[in-house]
Chain A
Amino acid sequence: MWTNFPLFPVRASNFADKVDPLYFFLVGVTVFFTLVIFLTITVFAIKYRRSVHPKAEQIEGSLVVEVTWTVIPLAIALVIFVWGVSVYYSYGAPPKDSLRVYGTARQWMWKFQHADGQREINELHVPVGRDVAVTLISQDVIHSFFVPAFRVKMDVLPNRYRTVWFRPTRTGTYHLFCAEYCGTAHSGMIGSVVVMEPGDYETWLASGGEGSLGSSGEKLFRHFGCISCHRSDKGARGPDLAGLYGREVHLQDGSTVMADENYIRESILAPKAKIVAGWQPIMPVFQGQVDEEEMLELIAYIKTLQQNPLNVNPNAPLPNEEQRKRNPQVEPQVIRP
């Protein structure tokens, strides 16, 4: 118990250098004002105690004094506010060339999927010195991704993708905690982030994996029968998905939307929420059919599409009868105008 007794957390990411100085500034402000109040009260309480100062002198107040002790704290507060905003801002959008990792949270475990196909549970391996962006979604309740050594925390929501990023600055193994109360084993929803030398990381990446995320997604794309409607030829009953990711999509109601992960996810789970201009709202609802891990794979695949999959491989099989029986609701509906 006494051998490992830290009073300050390890500093292992770029954010530690931003957060800690502001923290120390605030500790300084707190100590200063606490001492001012404590000492003033102590001095007054002793100097004007009733036994030596039995008759109080009445003082009405003073506008100058009131203004002074309103304006000075306000000025200090504004400094802290601006400083706090600037730190918060740096947590925002991850740098463009970040290493992308995808993860799902559920009661009570973390699952991470690397682009090359490595999957891990309650462990996250990342290389030192490289910007890492982790996109997360929850399968059930709200969780929170918290790595104290990185000074990074982000709530993981069940209805949309959110991305947290960091640049590890020190190799080692650090705590990963769930910081939003999520039920029985909340305190067991912990893991570790392993920061490795880039070479070791490459070795680790190559040591396993079940094919890339995109290739798993392609299988699902065929399995769910997406390919039978989303095509570029005359048989298409839905928009061609080639080059979709990152493009503006025109909707039936005249608005446009950026095709990001959240848009694609919503369009799969609840296709009627945003209808693409020029198409009938005939796509079946996949809510409850695709779990969040499969969704990540599907999206990874759709992101890779530069051409319609049928054009690349026209002989690839369409969903077979057995798959259709398993997923009767994906039976394509034929609309005759």
Chain B
Amino acid sequence: MSAAPSVAVEPREHYLNVDYGIRSWLLTTDHKRIALLYLISITVMFFIGGFFATLIRLELMTPAGDLVTSDTYNKLFTMHGIVMIFFFLIPSIPAVIGNFVLPMMVGARDMAFPKINLLSWYMYIIGAGITLYSIIVGGVDTGWTFYTPFSTTYSNTHVFGAVIGIIFAGFSSIFTGLNFIATVHKLRAPGLTWRRLPLFIWSHYATAVIMILGTPVVAISLILVAVERVWHIGIFNPALGGDPVLFQHLFWFYSHPAVYIMVLPSMGVVSELVTTFSRKRIFGYPFVAGASIAIAVFGFLVWGHHMFVAGISIYSAMLFSIMSYLVAIPSAVKVFNWTATLYKGAISYRTPMLYAFGFIGLFTMGGLTGLFLSALGIDVHVTDTYFVVAHFHYIMVGGAVMGYLGAIHYWWPKMFGRMYPEGWAKVAAATIFIGFNVTFFPQFILGYLGMPRRYHAYAPEFQVLNVMSTAGASILAVGYVLPLIYLIWSLRYGEVAGSNPWGATGLEWQTTSPPPTHNFEETPIVTEEPYAYDKQPEMEFVA
């Protein structure tokens, strides 16, 4: 266990004990408290989405659709997607970890616009409330993609409510992005030049750009869905004079960059973890930072790769294909740089580092299988099959969720002043890694075999691989419940952490844990580039 200096401290005032009243939480403008409000909210949403996934996997154990009806099954995968994407993955790292540590990382007392930050959480809660209401009164069955004209004309479910809920969630994400950009530009501590910014900040800056530029477009396209659905104004339905493929262009213009909203923050986390736990500078800082920006920019020009069989011309298909390869290169550069950072490091295998290893491995597989989907000729066969399902789960669960869990463990001592139990945490990390691969690897094979996604019942020859997948999902479920238990346990019984249990270089580790309401007793002054571990005093802590 950590032998970090756990000095017996006097009970001192920090952001958690400054006030216990319910109003002090619901009306707080403290970025750290807002982060915790988000942490609780998205954890609830994660387990709701996980519950839907559990029912999906149980249904798919047998080829016949026998556990639930087709309508119920269609609602399950729709709501799994909506809840996990809009209410867990997109806010996960930015709204929880980013909210908590970004101001501290730049040496600020709070976000640039603390009230907008609180408004962001209320937007999220209103959106989540409307969406949960739509689920309770009957659910939605359009798939999270809301393809027209099915969603506007043919579905008899609560499309309107779901769409409005997502639009609110979108505003919460725009407000978060706005705060990130303003805070990074205006509130950096003296000496914190752009080249001295931690890579976590660079990746969140890139994420914020996507949030602000992309989210309005998904709001617009969903509003158009609502308009056609409610007032029968012909936009997408050809019977009313609309164009159904137009919706796909609008939807993916945001929803492909949204994948980078989910994974860029994780990449920022991994850069922090790899440097901290190998006690090294990042290999090729300008390339890792620049790659985040390149991903954000190129990410806006690849949306058509979701539509290679949807009726776009061969020339636009070629353009979207080549752009998809170009956006893959900066991701590859990041993976290579993280790997090279390990070279001649002093590597410890603490839980956050295990998650970083997991991220690099699974993201690599997710990224490489993306090459299949951007290859025009192969995409024709594998699009809309389980190959796609496997691919994006490797990116979003293998990538984004691994990064999120790594971040939660890494900053947990900063957030609550207590260590998580290392032994249990390692068991959970290993369980998740194994469970994840057993769940999703068989789906690549299923996809090339030709099993379409969103199938309630399927051909009998697909059963063995589906049973494997369901078995893996049950392992994965155990892996996700474990941290929920031991992290709550650690709030009271965890070892006291001290201000810098990892001996890390970031500014957030220079203040106490948990931090005071205004983060720093005095404004820090930055004199070094990030990750200057050679200048950092040696810390005694066991690998």
Chain A positions near chain B (C-beta within 8 angstroms): 1-2, 4-9, 18-19, 22-23, 26, 29-30, 33-34, 37-38, 40-41, 44-45, 48-51, 53-62, 65-66, 69-70, 73-74, 77-78, 80-81, 83-92, 107, 140-142, 144, 146, 148-149, 151-155, 157-160, 162, 175, 177-188, 190, 270, 287-288
Contact B384 A7 (CB under 8 A): no
The secondary structure that dominates the B interface is helix
Contact A56 B376 (CB under 8 A): no
Chain B 361-396, CB within 8 Å of chain A: the 1/0 string?
100110011011011111111011100000000000
14 additional A-B residue pairs with CB within 8 Å, beyond A40-B339, A49-B348:
A1-B460, A29-B368, A50-B279, A50-B346, A81-B322, A81-B374, A85-B377, A142-B310, A153-B380, A157-B310, A181-B74, A181-B150, A184-B70, A186-B74
Contact B449 A6 (CB under 8 A): yes
With contact pairs A26-B371, A45-B347 given, residues A146 and B452 touching in the complex (Cβ less than 8 Å) = yes
What's the least CB distance linking A81 to chain B, in Å? 5
B522 sits at the interface (CB 8 A) = no
Contact A159 B238 (CB under 8 A): yes
What's the least CB distance linking A48 to chain B, in Å? 5
From 3 to 36 in chain B, residues with beta carbon under 8 angstroms from any chain A beta carbon are: none
What's the least CB distance linking A72 to chain B, in Å? 9
Chain B positions near chain A (C-beta within 8 angstroms): 65, 70-71, 74, 141, 143, 145, 147-150, 153-155, 237-239, 241, 243-245, 278-287, 308-311, 314, 317-318, 321-322, 325-326, 328-329, 332-333, 335-337, 339-340, 342-349, 357, 360-361, 364-365, 368-369, 371-372, 374-381, 383-385, 445, 448-450, 452-461, 463-464, 467, 533-534, 542-543
Contact of A157 among B287, B311, B360 (CB under 8 A): B311
With contact pairs A33-B368, A56-B280 given, residues A157 and B244 touching in the complex (Cβ less than 8 Å) = yes
Contact A157 B245 (CB under 8 A): yes
Closest Cβ neighbor of B340 among chain A residues: A65
Contact of B375 among A7, A33, A54, A84 (CB under 8 A): A84
Closest Cβ neighbor of A159 among chain B residues: B238
Contacts of A88 in B (CB 8 A): 308, 314, 317, 376-377, 379-380
Q: How many A-B residue pairs have CB under 8 A?
A: 286
Contacts of A157 in B (CB 8 A): 238, 244-245, 310-311
Closest Cβ neighbor of A154 among chain B residues: B309
Contacts of B336 in A (CB 8 A): 69
Contact B279 A56 (CB under 8 A): yes
Contact B335 A87 (CB under 8 A): no
The answer for the CA separation of A188 and B283 in the assembled complex, in Å, is 53
With contact pairs A4-B461, A49-B347, A158-B149 given, residues A177 and B452 touching in the complex (Cβ less than 8 Å) = yes
The answer for the CA separation of A50 and B333 in the assembled complex, in Å, is 26
With contact pairs A49-B347, A187-B65 given, residues A148 and B450 touching in the complex (Cβ less than 8 Å) = yes
Contact of A61 among B148, B287, B383 (CB under 8 A): B287
What's the least CB distance linking B517 to chain A, in Å? 35
The answer for the CA separation of A5 and B466 in the assembled complex, in Å, is 11
Contact of A4 among B347, B348, B460 (CB under 8 A): B460
